[in-house]
Chains A and B, each alone.
Chain A
Amino acid sequence: MKALALSLWNKENEKAVNLLTIQDVAQFSYFQRATVAEFLTFTSQFMADRTAPGERKSVKEKEYICHSLTKTDKIGGVMICDEEYPQRVAFTFMIKIMEDFLAKHPKGTWSSAPFTDADIRKQFDAAQDPKEIDHLMKIQTDLDETKVILYDTIEKVLERGEKLEDIVSRSEQLSATSKQFYKTAKSTNSCCVIL
């Protein structure tokens, strides 16, 4: 059971602007970590851009699931977890973190983004055990009936005419090494982490 990344986004415009990013790539081998971190960032941006205010999405890709939500007050969240991590807890947790974040960094301060926040990092580390954090969280998503749109693969989230390879090659978050890794992994049909 693993939460790999949590990010918050400014969704005042269609293109999401990063407010905060936390990642945990310790489980990956030493040489893979930098590439994995870049793909987590890329995927988070990709999902944040494509989740409109009021929407919630869960996208499965290989053994990972990317949960994304944007609130109507234009703050977005993306959490990337493995398949074991319960979906309900991921959304509950993101909403709680958004509330904590807004209390400390209201909209007027967002021009200083991205932020780091040690307390949110601590909460993310604690969230590796979803059962432990669930009863501590004050918000009950049972009261929140917002439907989550499910996608089988990340490519299903693409808009008409979009191609993932093009988005990868244009991405500012991916280094040349990562882009090459994606191409090689795709052509040899080997496991490409996250994508």
Chain B
Amino acid sequence: MALEDTLYQLYTILSTKPILDSISILHIDEPIVLEYGHLGINATTFKGLCLYAAERFDKYVSCNEMQTHLDMLSAVLILLNPDDSRFWIYRRRKIKKSPISTIDGLKSELWFAEHPVKVKPKSGEPFQHCRWLLQEHNHLVTSGIIETQLHLCQRASSAYPKNYYSWSHRLWLLKNFGSFMDLEGELKWSTGWVKMHVSDFSGLNYRFNLITNLNYPTSSTKTSEEWTTSTGVKSTSIKSTDFSTVVLGSSARKRLSQVAVTEIIWICDLVAFYPDRPALWSYLKMMILYCDTNKFDYAKRCRKQIQTVQKIKNKHSEAFRDTAIISSLFGIGL
């Protein structure tokens, strides 16, 4: 039967864990094509396979003897239909019964979890599975694994604008595995991202969490070891964006104050160039409120930039009326 053959063909490809740059659903004649690390599945075959494999899964899921078959079906189904939690739950239950004990074993399961994102970037289940794997096996996590996860987040955020799932996952990685990350590099990456995605509020929200929770090195000891999160390794108590007062020593406060002011100047510059982007205005408001709450003196140092932004707001007041831009500026005197 053609679908059974295609199912085995697809699983055979997946089980070798090739480098797959992309997975696409296409209007082609062949059911499956693999070229130079790019996997293509015929659209009609895709639909048929989803139904066929799901039917087989439901039939065998309670049979212990069909374990190997179910492993194959779940691996294919999480790729074809990543939103259906049944197949992910099956895999987690199986891992609970026989826990992963090696780094390679963890990487192998993460490989299966990561590839559905290439088919459907806006799906929460693959990221949830990754989080479960990393939490359950945190003694096996390496910086290489976290780097791959960050690339996955970037890929999903690029493929689907303002992708809540990928940004939530990135933030979770920062909060729980920040010690495995190159935080200075992460900040530079975030700067580049925001410049090229000025309407992405999720990316700006991530940046806010990143810059307000880093321990910045002093200028005399700027090594990568100095860049840590203020809550250290595997912590779940990182400060949320509720503008609660930062409790830090005086030199750390001074550094954070300098960073916050530099950030306001930078965002004012972006707002001046892209005045019609509500996300930038909202982010500017977040930074101003953050400085006000923590009594960081920004007004003097950012006077010129704030005046420029006020002029822009007044110039566009008619166009901005009834938009998110005006409502986002309420309460901060801009």
Give the interface SS of chain A, mostly helix, strand, loop or mixed: loop
Nearest residue, chain A, Cβ from B192:
A129
Nearest residue, chain A, Cβ from B33:
A31
Cβ–Cβ contact B22 & A29, under 8 A = yes
Interface assignment of B330: CB less than 8 Å from any CB of chain A: no
Q: Which of A127-149 contact B (CB under 8 A)?
A: 128-129, 131, 134
* A50-83 near B? 1/0 per residue, CB < 8 Å: 0000000000000000000000000000000000
Interface assignment of B8: CB less than 8 Å from any CB of chain A: no
Interface assignment of B306: CB less than 8 Å from any CB of chain A: no
Q: With A131-B273, A180-B27 known to touch, is A30 a contact of B35 (CB < 8 Å)?
A: yes
Residues in A with CB closer than 8 Å to B33 are 31
Q: With A29-B22, A31-B26, A32-B24 known to touch, is A131 a contact of B195 (CB < 8 Å)?
A: yes
Residues in A with CB closer than 8 Å to B195 are 129, 131
Q: With A30-B24, A30-B35, A31-B40 known to touch, is A84 a contact of B273 (CB < 8 Å)?
A: no
Q: How far is the CA of A84 from the CA of B161 in the complex (A)?
A: 11
Q: Which of B1-55 contact A (CB under 8 A)?
A: 21-24, 26-28, 33, 35-36, 38, 40
Nearest residue, chain A, Cβ from B21:
A30
Cβ–Cβ contact A84 & B27, under 8 A = no
Nearest residue, chain A, Cβ from B198:
A84
Interface assignment of B199: CB less than 8 Å from any CB of chain A: yes
Question: What residues make up the interface of A, taking CB atoms closer than 8 Å to B?
Answer: 1, 27, 29-32, 84, 86, 128-129, 131, 134, 180-181, 184
**Listed A/B pairs (27) with beta-carbon separation below 8 Å:** A1-B197, A1-B198, A29-B22, A29-B23, A29-B24, A29-B38, A30-B21, A30-B22, A30-B35, A30-B36, A30-B38, A31-B26, A31-B33, A31-B35, A31-B38, A31-B40, A32-B24, A84-B199, A86-B274, A128-B196, A129-B195, A131-B270, A131-B273, A131-B274, A134-B273, A181-B27, A184-B27
